[in-house]
Chain A
Amino acid sequence: MSNPTRRAILIVAVVAMAAFCASRLDIGTDVTNFMPDGGRAKLASLSRKLANSELTRTMTLSVGAPTLDEAVDAADELARELAGHPEVAWIRTSMSGESLAEAVDLYFPRRYYFATSDPESELPDLLSDDGLQQQARRMLAELRQPIAPFLKPLTMRDPLGLFRRMLDTARASQPSLPTHRDQIVSADGQFALILLATVHSHFESETQANFLDDLSAAIDRVTARNPGIEVEASGANRIAVHAEQSIKRDIYRIGACTFVGVAIVFLLFFRSLGAFLLTSMPAMFGIACATTLGILFFGGLDGLTIAFGTALMGVAIDYSIHVLNHHTLDGAGTSADETVARLRPSLTLGATTTMASFAGLVLTTSPAFRELGFFAIVGMAASLLATIYFLPAFLPRPRAIPSLSRQVARQLGAGVHRLERHRAWLRLLVGAALIAGVVAVPHLNWVDDLSRLGSADPEIMAEEARVRSRLPTFETGRFVIAIGDDAEQALQKNDRVHGRLSHLQREGAIGGVRSLHQLLPSRDLQQRNLSALRETPNLAARVDRAFHAVGFRSGAFAAAFEDLDSPPPPLTLDDLKRSSLAPLLTTLALPIGDQLAIITYLREVQSDEAVEAALADLDGVVFFEQRKFINEVYAEFRATSLRQILVGTILVSAVLMLRYRRVRPALAALLPSLLVVAVLLASFAALSVEMNLLHVIALMMIMGMGVDYGVFLVDSADDAEGFSATMLSLLISCLTTVLVFGTLAISEHPALRAIGVTTGGGVLLAFLFAPVSLLATRRTTR
């Protein structure tokens, strides 16, 4: 096939695939995909829903001023500035939104269903003669109050005070929010507080960044009109936006260094900047193929799959550098196709071993790992195809061999040749490195705390802490989940949860509980309350007697018991969904799969162990700590990746043995990757580096490169000039990798630093260990 035809085919294919991907690509960011299918995946799904719920979309603005009245005035101005903003879902400055009328309509007729949380133990006391007399005296005292005329219509129909008990319980469960002139203020009375929720999740950084800019501008305007005020804010979006902007600044800075460095390398050795684009082309083809087939096969791809798969193409670029370098050093007398034909066995073996190292992922139970394995295998195969069949069509015939390339290649070849005399020392070095690696493994410091991967701005975090301390809220990171196959089952479990947590609250183990139970106990509990009241012997007569004894007219409350005889049906979840209380359900009752999860939020948890112990025997109930759970997910991801490295190494060894059919060359090809891992792990253990998932991902990439370096050298060992050229290929690949990935080591962010240090250090070690491994394993050398 002619060069123009091959070029056209590649370009059309890439453009077509890019267009397909752009129209169909649905990038997910669901960490549940990294979990094995099953129960924990459901919890992770719930965690993700709550992470994107109104709870995390809520911001608090705190306005301070010389006097509280000035703070309230400024808060009012600021709230009015923000109220019309399209990104503000709601804004709240007062408590007057609570609709008592709606609560009366919904709950008063059903007051008998809501009498107690434990009718069997609470009602006997409430309905005893003493209890009824106590209630009678309480009602008499209420009638003396000046506002009695407004309360009487309900009072007359509720001698047992059940509705009043419901309201008191509901109010007691909420942290008290003091107000001043109808404005929510901090408990110490120093700050006016504004609550608002954004329309979009805090993960949608561009939207949130724009909103925060507008918020800042609004604050500036209000501050200019009200000298002396100070506005502070808290919200998950501030942290997310700052983190992303910080990482972007880092990447731009590092990217500039990378670009300049890579440009210099390609100019020095190929005298062409375009050469870098050419060497990237097979990798881009690989990414396009893997993405296209991934969409067709899976329907969509996880963001982490694309990110990792794309990074893996950094391995594929070594193949095109190898081809380009040999083509350059072959000179004008050899066509690109001839160069590729000579290198084809090495390129094929290199790509095959990389594919083998990821084959194990396809067999895991995690959907995302299967995706990752598929992406890596398809991407590498497509990159190999492009390197062998399409890249030659783009390579120009070299005019002259760059003198620097020729000199460096010769020096590298000569340098390795000089090392032959020291094979014994090299074998010792190899042995020592491997032993150091094995010894280091038990001493590695694995840290799976995701929060350590970020570098939160201390000023922002301090402001967050100050503002949060001014508004008592329920924790969003720890809660209790009751899961049922249907609403009634979930509600019954939730009733039991509420009982246990109430007991803990009375003991002081927790400060408060926010539960759906206060709005909606199970139908079973509602019916038990009604039945217990109806079955209480002579209740109406006894109420009449008790109230008459303190001064009420006999028969005054006859009408009240008509509701007991024919109440409306028990309250259901659907009733609540149709009421104005429906927005509360978005964070209290969530479907997961075909089940329902009911969430109970806790405040001021003094002892996690006490909460866990109190709930331990309840089936389908989990005390969920979001941060701990996510860290466990990533720990599992890390563990799976480590197992994958082991499985991959075994598969790679098998492929090398199949190819070489002798131990020495197979070992020479495999050893660089093993030595890199051994030395890196020994170094990390010696320096007590906190290792995490990103170190493992970088190791997977470096091991692929190490085997490739080994294969390239083994296959060119019998040809002195070819060997020198290959050493130069390895040097250029190494420098490119150091500049593209290794420069991340200078990042401010621990996550990027982990990748940079491991990749940069690892690829340098791979470059050094590739010839060492060859010499250490060869019986004779040239």
Chain B
Amino acid sequence: MLAMASTPGVVAEFVETKHLALLDAPLITRGKLYFIPPRRLARHTEAPGKSTLIIDGDRLIFSDETGEQRLDLASNPIARVFVDNFIVLFNGDRKGLERRYETKFAIEGEDWSLDLRPKHAPLNEAISAVRMVGNGAGMRKMTMTESGGDRTVTEFVEVDTGHRFSDAEIAAVFSAPEMTPQ
């Protein structure tokens, strides 16, 4: 946690696999994740379609081929809950984590695992458990299990936990790209 909290920035490629009861086959998404503690996160997907999720303080921007949505998290409690619970998974805020989740930490050799159960509504109505696996300051895999049984597994590769973002990089990563509506 301390290592995660003290990192200057994180860049990681990810492969997200959603196992949903609604679907015949898992939904696979690939992209890149950028994180600057304590509250700046950008998630750019490249396949199968382009989308961008940016969380920057109280600002949330989501854009894909269908359009763009901007939210002031201060005025949207549901989105705020989601973002706070999501961000806390990355910024190494142990106290914040323990406020929101029941935590169980284990070490196996050089690997660690962190099992989380949301404590409060509305998160615990949608999510039943989150399992994070990694070593050192880097997370390797995150599995989110929903209350209905659906599961999202995100695997992180090429993880750079000591990335120092330049101003140009920040401007490029934390701004919503123009999308061509379909």
Establish whether residues B21 and A143, one from each chain, have CB atoms under 8 Å apart when the complex forms: no
A451 interface hit (Cβ, 8 Å): no
Establish whether residues A551 and B77, one from each chain, have CB atoms under 8 Å apart when the complex forms: no
A689 interface hit (Cβ, 8 Å): no
Establish whether residues A147 and B82, one from each chain, have CB atoms under 8 Å apart when the complex forms: yes
A657 interface hit (Cβ, 8 Å): no
- B-binding segment of A179-187, A232-240, A507-515, A741-749: A179-187
Can you report 13 A-B residue pairs in the complex whose CB atoms are below 8 A from each other?
Answer: A94-B75, A96-B75, A140-B27, A141-B49, A141-B66, A143-B18, A147-B79, A150-B78, A150-B122, A152-B148, A181-B74, A553-B23, A556-B22
Closest to A72 in B: B74
A427 interface hit (Cβ, 8 Å): no
Given A180-B72, A182-B72, A552-B24, does the pair A146, B53 have CB atoms closer than 8 Å? yes
Q: Smallest CB–CB gap between A164 and chain B, Å? A: 11
Closest to A97 in B: B75
In chain A, positions 120-178 with a C-beta closer than 8 Å to chain B are 138, 140-141, 143-150, 152, 156, 178
Contacts of A146 in B (CB 8 A): 43, 53, 82, 86
CA–CA, A38 and B150, complex, Å: 66
Total interface residues in chain B, CB < 8 Å: 35
CA–CA, A145 and B63, complex, Å: 10
Establish whether residues A149 and B76, one from each chain, have CB atoms under 8 Å apart when the complex forms: no
B84 interface hit (Cβ, 8 Å): no
Interface centre among B20, B29, B43, B146 (most CB of A within 10 A): B20
Contacts of B122 in A (CB 8 A): 150
CA–CA, A747 and B86, complex, Å: 68
Q: Smallest CB–CB gap between B142 and chain A, Å? A: 12
Contacts of A150 in B (CB 8 A): 78, 82, 122, 126
CA–CA, A95 and B20, complex, Å: 34
Contacts of B18 in A (CB 8 A): 143-144, 148
Contacts of B144 in A (CB 8 A): 149
Establish whether residues A182 and B43, one from each chain, have CB atoms under 8 Å apart when the complex forms: no
A496 interface hit (Cβ, 8 Å): no
A260 interface hit (Cβ, 8 Å): no
B161 interface hit (Cβ, 8 Å): no
List residues of chain B with CB under 8 Å of any chain A CB.
18, 20-25, 27, 29, 43, 45, 49, 51, 53, 58, 62, 64-66, 72, 74-79, 82, 86, 122, 126-127, 144, 146, 148, 150
Given A143-B20, A144-B45, A553-B21, does the pair A96, B76 have CB atoms closer than 8 Å? yes
Contacts of A179 in B (CB 8 A): 72, 74-75
Given A149-B146, A181-B74, does the pair A138, B66 have CB atoms closer than 8 Å? yes
Establish whether residues B74 and A182, one from each chain, have CB atoms under 8 Å apart when the complex forms: yes
Closest to B182 in A: A137
In chain A, positions 529-582 with a C-beta closer than 8 Å to chain B are 548, 551-554, 556
Contacts of A138 in B (CB 8 A): 66
Closest to A146 in B: B53
Closest to A139 in B: B22
Establish whether residues B53 and A145, one from each chain, have CB atoms under 8 Å apart when the complex forms: yes
A100 interface hit (Cβ, 8 Å): yes
Top 3 A-B residue pairs of the complex, sorted by shortest distance between their CB atoms: A182-B74, A179-B72, A149-B126
Closest to B154 in A: A146
Total interface residues in chain A, CB < 8 Å: 29
Establish whether residues A100 and B72, one from each chain, have CB atoms under 8 Å apart when the complex forms: no
CA–CA, A480 and B82, complex, Å: 42
Contacts of A143 in B (CB 8 A): 18, 20, 22-23, 27
Please report whether the interface of chain B is mostly helix, strand, loop or mixed according to DSSP: mixed
Q: A554-B24, A556-B21 are in contact. List 14 more A-B contacts (CB 8 A).
A: A96-B74, A96-B75, A96-B76, A140-B27, A143-B27, A146-B82, A149-B126, A152-B126, A152-B148, A156-B22, A179-B74, A551-B27, A552-B24, A553-B24
Contacts of B150 in A (CB 8 A): 149, 152
**Inter-chain contact total with CB atoms closer than 8 Å:** 83
CA–CA, A548 and B65, complex, Å: 21
List residues of chain A with CB under 8 Å of any chain B CB.
94-96, 100, 138, 140-141, 143-150, 152, 156, 178-183, 548, 551-554, 556
Establish whether residues A149 and B127, one from each chain, have CB atoms under 8 Å apart when the complex forms: yes
Closest to B77 in A: A96
Q: Smallest CB–CB gap between B114 and chain A, Å? A: 19
Establish whether residues A551 and B24, one from each chain, have CB atoms under 8 Å apart when the complex forms: yes
Q: Smallest CB–CB gap between A181 and chain B, Å? A: 5
CA–CA, A144 and B49, complex, Å: 10
Closest to A148 in B: B18
Q: Smallest CB–CB gap between A165 and chain B, Å? A: 13
Closest to B49 in A: A141
B65, B72, B86: the one contacting A141 at CB < 8 Å is B65
CA–CA, A178 and B71, complex, Å: 9
Given A551-B24, A551-B25, does the pair A100, B78 have CB atoms closer than 8 Å? yes
Establish whether residues A95 and B75, one from each chain, have CB atoms under 8 Å apart when the complex forms: yes
Contacts of B53 in A (CB 8 A): 145-146
Contacts of B20 in A (CB 8 A): 143
Contacts of A144 in B (CB 8 A): 18, 27, 29, 45, 49, 51
Q: Smallest CB–CB gap between A57 and chain B, Å? A: 24
Q: Smallest CB–CB gap between B57 and chain A, Å? A: 9
Contacts of B82 in A (CB 8 A): 146-147, 150
Closest to B51 in A: A144
Contacts of B127 in A (CB 8 A): 149
Contacts of B72 in A (CB 8 A): 95, 178-182
Closest to B127 in A: A149
Contacts of A554 in B (CB 8 A): 24
Establish whether residues B75 and A552, one from each chain, have CB atoms under 8 Å apart when the complex forms: no
Establish whether residues A552 and B49, one from each chain, have CB atoms under 8 Å apart when the complex forms: no
CA–CA, A564 and B79, complex, Å: 30
Closest to A138 in B: B66
Q: Smallest CB–CB gap between A176 and chain B, Å? A: 10
Contacts of A178 in B (CB 8 A): 72
Q: Smallest CB–CB gap between B86 and chain A, Å? A: 7
Closest to B126 in A: A149
Q: Smallest CB–CB gap between B173 and chain A, Å? A: 17
Q: Smallest CB–CB gap between B151 and chain A, Å? A: 11
CA–CA, A144 and B20, complex, Å: 11
Interface centre among A141, A147, A148, A149 (most CB of B within 10 A): A149
